[in-house]
Structure 1
Amino acid sequence: MSAEKKILTNLIVSFIIGLLVGAALGVYLIAPLLAPPPPAAPVELTVFSLWGGAEEENFLKCLKAFEEETGIKVKHVHQTTEGLMVGVPSQFAAGKSVADVIIAPWPAWIRSLAKEGHLMEVTDLIDPTKYPKDYVDLVTVDGKIYAAPFKAWAKPGFWYKKSFFEKHGLKPPKTWDEFLDLLEKLKNIPGIEAPIASGNGVGWPLSDITEAFIINRGSPDLQIKLINGEITFTDPEVRKVFEELTDLIKKGYFSTPDEWTAQIDKLWNEKYGIYFMGNWMTVMPQVKDVDDLGFFPFPEAKGVVAGGDWVIIPKYTEHPEEAKKLLQFLAGPKGQEIMVKQGGFLGTHADVPAEAYKPADKAVVDFIKTVKVVP
């Protein structure tokens, strides 16, 4: 073979080898680019709320239903009042948020966060006509809705043990005179320490019943004027209400104040006859049989203190689409029905079926519709 042919042959062989090596190297380098991407890490939403105890247990069941329906995981983190009111705004100020969804009971706080630009608008996520107008208006800023109504609550009147009333031939009063007559009868029953349980330990149980007297023995407007600072507690109308309340205390109709949940135990053990408390009574563990729990509104009621809990989405969430789905689930009839069926929860959505409510809760819902709601 001539030298020229050897050189040509070597060039051809080298070229072929180069092609093969280049192809192999190309496959090695390009293969990872052609391979399907690894599956995305599953999304887990973090939810903040103030709920603990029985309320948290019930809420976790609702979140579990959402997980099963959507495949989106949810972690609930119980917060203190300070944790929400102080901790959350501090995170927002830094442009961050640990929570993807927050449930809060303070519409003024929600409006403030919205005005500062920290919340996602939810106007297009809910149908506002399905909720009580007041509950939507309270979280609306410049015509835009920034929270979805989830839960309603009320402090409607007195709770009692049905079997105890039946045993002693007692009936829930409808008029003020009937109420006074009931108190006297209860006072004279052997074993009764006082007709009305007085809750304490955290302050609000005693202020709640005082508010109820101002609203119903005075008027809802009287309470609103006090809230707005238009009048003081020395106002003649307010003093008249307090004189009436003082008279009942002097007659021994109210118990010595004690820790409020311990007083539920004593109500159930028939040491007291009635207890003024919010609708959450139906989920308190001290109530041994919710079917034996009765309720009657403040006699000759004119108004009721009520409020709620709203769902908000921080603008800084890393999972906005998933957070929107959770908000819609909680604000919708499906999520609220789950909560309502467990008791102690009043739904805000109009499509929550009436039959989902326990009898005591349904009585509260029906009563609220007949009187003026006061914040």
Structure 2
Amino acid sequence: MEKTDEWVGVAEGVAVVPVGPPARRVRPRRLGAALAIAALAAAVLLLTGTPWLDRPAVQAWRTVCLAITVQALPFLLLGTVLSGAINAFVPADLFTRVLPRRAALAVPIAGVAGAVLPGCECASVPVAHSLIRRGVTPAAAFAFLLSAPAVNPVVLTATAVAFPGNPAMIAARLLASLATAAVMGWLWLWLGKETWLRPVLRQGHTGHRHGYSRLREFRLGFQHDFLQAGGFLVLGAMAAATFNVTVPRSVLDTFSGSPWLSVLFLAALAVVLAVCSEADAFVAASLTGFSPTARLAFMVVGPMVDLKLIALQAGTFGRAFAWRFSTATTVVAVTASVVIGGALL
């Protein structure tokens, strides 16, 4: 019994809490990991190519899926490395000491702190996961999750390059993204329920695992997070590639004429295209037929809600959380884009 309980603690990345038969706790996680690995294996098969997959449409699908995966994978790797390092080397109470005790004040500070992580949304998910396990209030961790891929220096520099001579677009993206992150953190404090999160997150992680060196703890945490998140990343890339191949380009022209429909359409397009936040400004700049506010909505919604990010959130925090949080974030991000874009652009 002791070996089984210890294995559960290592696999979950939390302190062991004996609650009932161990097999009942492990089976759901084994199933999720198996599905993620199966998706990864299927993607490798499709992307490497076989004779019966050489049709033009399938080749285009493979190209888009591979592009999204390759673009996001380095930042996912960065995020899981940071996540493992936080779990293994950072004192458990560091974040709770640095952030204000009042959760309402911790939320905007965590949102501003997102500027220090030069990565995309794939990197922010595992880092936010580690913050929660280290005792940070979920509201602050979620504010960090949303702001990190949208307000870091790399993204803002890319936006400046994509929109030369237009500092208002940079300021609008910064303000709308920070506002969305803070509002979502406060909404979680007001309406969020811990039952929407996976049980492992509700239990928390109060210290390092006993009997393991810091390096081994880092390796175990990195291996677990990267394998699971990588599988869900591939699932999201598959869905985004399917949209890219099946929706005709003429649909873009249908919505560009209406100010309101153009904002909603580009927000939805950002969700399904799943472009990395370091590259989405160049995509937005190429959509010259749409209004500046609509293109702002594309850049604000994309780093916070897209298909691969929803899949990553579902695999990390749970499906009950992912669909509620993604829906609310989309509404808040579009509203912030319209208000701030209307004032500055």
Whose helix fraction is larger, Structure 1's or Structure 2's? 2
State the TM-score, normalized to the length of structure 1. Answer: 0.20
Higher alpha-carbon Rg: 1
